[in-house]
Amino acid sequence: MSQGPRARFVERLDGFLSESLRQASPLELGRARMLVGVCWGLLACDALVLLQAVLNPVPLSIVMVAVACAAGFGGALVLLRWSSSTRPLALLLCSLVTAGLITNILTMKELAVATHASIMLVPVVSVYLLGWRLGLLFSALICVSVGLVFPLHTWGSLEGPGPVLCSFAAVYVLCAWSMSWLFVSSRDETYAMVEQMVRTLRESEGQLVSLIESTDDLVLSLDAEGRVITANHSAKQLFRRIAGRELRKGEPAFGEFPSEERARWNGFMARALKGERVKEEMLLPPKERLITLELTVSPVRGEGGRVVGTTLFGRDITARKEAEARLSEMHRNLLDVSRQAGMAEIATGVLHNVGNALNSVNVSAGVVTERLHGLRVPAMSRAAELLEEHAADLGSFVTTDPRGRQFPVYLKALARRLVEERDAVLEEMRTLCQNLDHIKAVVSMQQAHASSSGMVELLPIPELLDDALRLHALSFETVGIQVRREYAQVPPLWVDRHKLLQILLNLVSNARHALLETGREDKQLTLRVGPGTGGRLRIEVEDNGVGVTPENLPRLFTQGFTTKRDGHGFGLHISALAAEEMRGSLFCTSAGQNRGATFTLELPTRDASLVEPARSRHSSGMIEAAVAR
């Protein structure tokens, strides 16, 4: 950018000053520049006087004064290159000017010279360079010379109003001194106030800088283009970790970041420049690990309320996010453990009660077995064989044979014995049936307890999906999983919050594991909510992870089936049972291995509070099958 005339003129004046004067206070620097300008101006006047002496004869004293003054002015210009103060040279300058003017006035004895405007230079320059006291001294010398000495020196030669004009000139010199004094005093007071304000401002700036530098948070000041104006140590240190170099003023704050994060940052800046205070989280990619920053971008308003820049405050919340991720993982594990503990408790109760009944069943079965073994069936067989042997002479056998005559009595006793044994077996069978009825009652009661639903609420499904997602959100961010939400406008649904949330947590957790096991860079999880078939509501959890092979799809919701190394096979099975208890359905579709999978949950949209919860056919089938075995 080209300099203006004033800047070029000031630069040339500064070329005659020493380094210490150029670095001096504004007042001292102003005096030095004034001294240089006056010296050059007076040198020009002396040059004109000497040129006049060459062209026309002038008194020798005038020439000697001009030469002496020129030597003094030139010497002052030379000494200014090494001087650290202007006062000695200013005193020399004022003395030469005053002495020269007085000499010229008294030598030439002309009224025009005595009342010339050049005498005003003495009060103006002396007060500006030396202050009002020395300025008054030099001004008084000029006043006495013009108003008193010159009229006396030229007494009788002045005509008309000459003495009066000399008096006026002396008074004007005093007026010039007074005005210069007022100007310099006002200037000094202004400079004192400015210096006090500058000191106060510097103290405040120092306190603010100390406060900003003492925090571990990132603090940056940016212009309207997003370029760095100032940055504290924490911001510079973080930039050094990310970019491997120092943060420079005037460069974009996030120019070194990946395109996706840079685009997000540009969006934050656009909102802040519109006057909005933006608070968001942002992932930064240092080499050692990802850093999560909580950014607050606030607009800075200038004159007229116009936004002229932004301030950025950033806090490293990586540790907090990791703690939340661990807490979320512990929560999920706790849910799984609680579910398993509940199942174990139910199984323990069932086995205890059924075991007690089975002891009685075993006793009754043993008694029945013994009774059956003790039945007089062999005696009946022998009686039948005896009758078969004497089938031809049965009448004579019964009447004449001693064994035949006892046969009716034997059959009567045998029949009575068989009736007694039958009654005993029937009694044991009744006991056995009672014990089996007890087992059935225990199983039915446990089924009713296991399938009873919790509180049914009217809930917005997208919000419940977001709650499930929020428990996994941090673990998704740290492993680079992109989450997409495709929520259609659907009415709230009457559901059991905890059952549905448990299903969603299981589905989201399975999708997360499927994405972690794949080698894809573009890991993506999509959540959809929309209307389903038959007036139902459909929830889909889709991932582009490892997928499901066709042979595993039929067994996916079977108890104990899992493809994970550390899996237990309960999650999807329990989710399917919970979906059926809510009169819904859960199924999975997949194009094959490494081609992702979509889990779909369909729920009825009618008022579930008016419908008795369905009993789980899966659970009842398992328990009844166990009893049958």
Examine residue 625 and state whether it is found in any structural domain, yes or no.
no
Chain mean pLDDT for the chain: 80
The pLDDT of residue 608 is 38
For residue 335, pLDDT over 70 is answered with no
Examine residue 617 and state whether it is found in any structural domain, yes or no.
no
In the structure, what pLDDT confidence band is assigned to residue 346 with cuts at 50, 70 and 90?
A: low
**What CATH code is carried by the domain that includes residue 302?**
3.30.450.20
Range with top average pLDDT, 387-401, 402-416, 485-499 = 485-499
Examine residue 624 and state whether it is found in any structural domain, yes or no.
no
In the structure, what pLDDT confidence band is assigned to residue 373 with cuts at 50, 70 and 90?
A: confident
- 3-class DSSP state of 213: helix
Examine residue 329 and state whether it is found in any structural domain, yes or no.
yes
Q: What number is the average pLDDT over the span 597-626?
A: 55
Examine residue 203 and state whether it is found in any structural domain, yes or no.
no
**What CATH code is carried by the domain that includes residue 550?**
3.30.565.10
* Same domain? 294 vs 327: no
Q: Are 407 and 389 in contact, with CB atoms under 8 Å apart?
A: no
Instruction: Please give the share of the chain, as a percent, with pLDDT higher than 70.
Output: 84
Rounded Cα gap, residues 373 and 425, in angstroms? 11
For residue 1, pLDDT over 60 is answered with no
The total number of structural domains in the chain stands at: 4
Domain boundary among 195, 226, 243: 195
Examine residue 511 and state whether it is found in any structural domain, yes or no.
yes
Range with top average pLDDT, 396-410, 461-475, 592-606 = 592-606
The pLDDT of residue 597 is 92
Instruction: Please give the share of the chain, as a percent, with pLDDT higher than 90.
Output: 10
* Same domain? 104 vs 37: yes
**Residue ranges in 145-161 assigned as alpha helix (H):** 150-153
For residue 230, pLDDT over 50 is answered with yes
* Same domain? 53 vs 134: yes
Examine residue 183 and state whether it is found in any structural domain, yes or no.
yes
**Could you tell me the pTM of the whole model?**
0.44
The pLDDT of residue 624 is 37
The pLDDT of residue 614 is 38
The pLDDT of residue 620 is 39
Amino acid at residue number 442: V
For residue 122, pLDDT over 70 is answered with yes
Which of 226-235's residues contact partners 24+ apart within 8 Å by CB, and which partners? 226/252, 226/253, 226/254, 226/265, 226/266, 226/269, 226/310, 227/251, 227/252, 227/253, 228/252, 228/253, 229/309, 235/314
Residue with tokens 């492993």: 479
Rounded Cα gap, residues 302 and 292, in angstroms? 31
In the structure, what pLDDT confidence band is assigned to residue 609 with cuts at 50, 70 and 90?
A: very low
* Same domain? 292 vs 336: no
* Same domain? 408 vs 330: yes
* Same domain? 461 vs 439: no
* Same domain? 333 vs 370: yes
Query: By residue range, what is the domain housing residue 229?
Result: 215-316
Examine residue 147 and state whether it is found in any structural domain, yes or no.
yes
Q: Are 94 and 180 in contact, with CB atoms under 8 Å apart?
A: no
The pLDDT of residue 452 is 47
The pLDDT of residue 220 is 85
The pLDDT of residue 438 is 64
Write out pLDDT tens, residues 265-291.
Answer: 888 888 888 888 888 887 776 656 677
Rounded Cα gap, residues 514 and 620, in angstroms? 31
For residue 479, pLDDT over 80 is answered with no
* Same domain? 522 vs 575: yes
* Same domain? 404 vs 484: no
* Same domain? 347 vs 427: yes
DSSP string over 521-573: SS-EEEEEEEE-GGGEEEEEEEE-SS---TTTSTTTTSTT---STT--S-HHH
DSSP string over 396-444: HHHHTSHHHHHHHHHHHHHHHHHHHHHHHHHHHHHHHHHHHHHHHHHHH
The pLDDT of residue 619 is 39
Rounded Cα gap, residues 589 and 556, in angstroms? 11
Contacts of 458 (CB under 8 A, 6+ apart): 492, 493, 494
* Same domain? 283 vs 327: no
C-alpha distances out from residue 453 to 256, 350, 485, 538, 582, Å: 54, 20, 29, 21, 8
* Same domain? 287 vs 156: no
Span of 37-41, 113-117, 286-290, 545-549 with lowest mean pLDDT: 286-290
**Residue ranges in 452-546 assigned as alpha helix (H):** 461-470, 473-478, 497-517
